[in-house]
Structure 1
Amino acid sequence: DLAPVYERAHALIESIDRRVRPRAFLHAALLQVNVLATMGQEDEALTELLPLAEQCARIGLIRPVLDAGPAVSRLARRLRTHLLGRADAAAYTGLNEYLDELEKQPT
C-alpha cells in the first residue's frame, strides 16, 4: 500500500516554501508524481507533472524529470498526447521544444 508514501510526499511538498527553495519543491513534487504513477493513478500523475514540466522547460532543466524515476520519465514522454485533449493546451506552447529534447535524452 503506497498511500502512506503518498501522504509523506505530500507533507514534504507542503513543508517547502517554493519561493525560497524552488528546486527542493520541484524534486518533492516530482517524487509525488512518481508515487501517483506507481500507484496506478496515471491521469492524476500526468496532471501534476504538466506544470512541473512546464517549469523545467522555462528554466531549461531536463534531468530532474528524467532522474525522478522510470515512472515519471515514461509519463513525461506521454505529456504531448495528454495535452491534445486539454482546453488550456495553448498555454503550454513552449513545452513542445522541451518534450522534443526530453525524448532525445537517454533515461
Structure 2
Amino acid sequence: MPGDGVVAGAGFNELMHHPSRLAVLAFLSGCIEADFALVRDRCELSDSALSKIAKTLEEAGYTDVRKGRAGRKARTWLALTPEGGNALAAHLDALQAVAAAARSAAEHEADPNRQAG
C-alpha cells in the first residue's frame, strides 16, 4: 500500500546504488585527486571494472578523468566533481533516511504497548 514501509526518497541515486560505484565515489570524496591504481587497490577492483566505472561516472558528470604522465609512465587520475559530491551527499542522506525509517518501523512493531491500527 502506498505510504507503508520503507521507500527511498528524493536524493536516492540508482547510478550510485551499485556498491562498486558507491565505493569509488566515497573514496574520491576524501581526495582532491587520486591515481587510478590507488583507487583500484583501495576499492578492491580490477583494472577493467574500474575503467568501466570511471567511464560511467564521468559520463554522468560525477567524476573527472585526467590522463597524463608521471615520469615515463602514462597515468590516469580520478577526481570527484562538485556535482558528484552533491549527488553523493544526497544519496547518502537518502540511504540514512531509509535506515532511520526501517529502525523506526522495527521499534514500532516491537513495542508491546502499540495500538493496532
Q: TM (normalized to structure 2)?
A: 0.29
Q: Identify which of structures 1 and 2 has the higher relative contact order when contacts are C-alpha pairs closer than 8 Å and 6+ apart.
A: 2
The structure whose residues are more often strand, as a share, is 2
Question: Bigger radius of gyration, 1 or 2?
Answer: 2
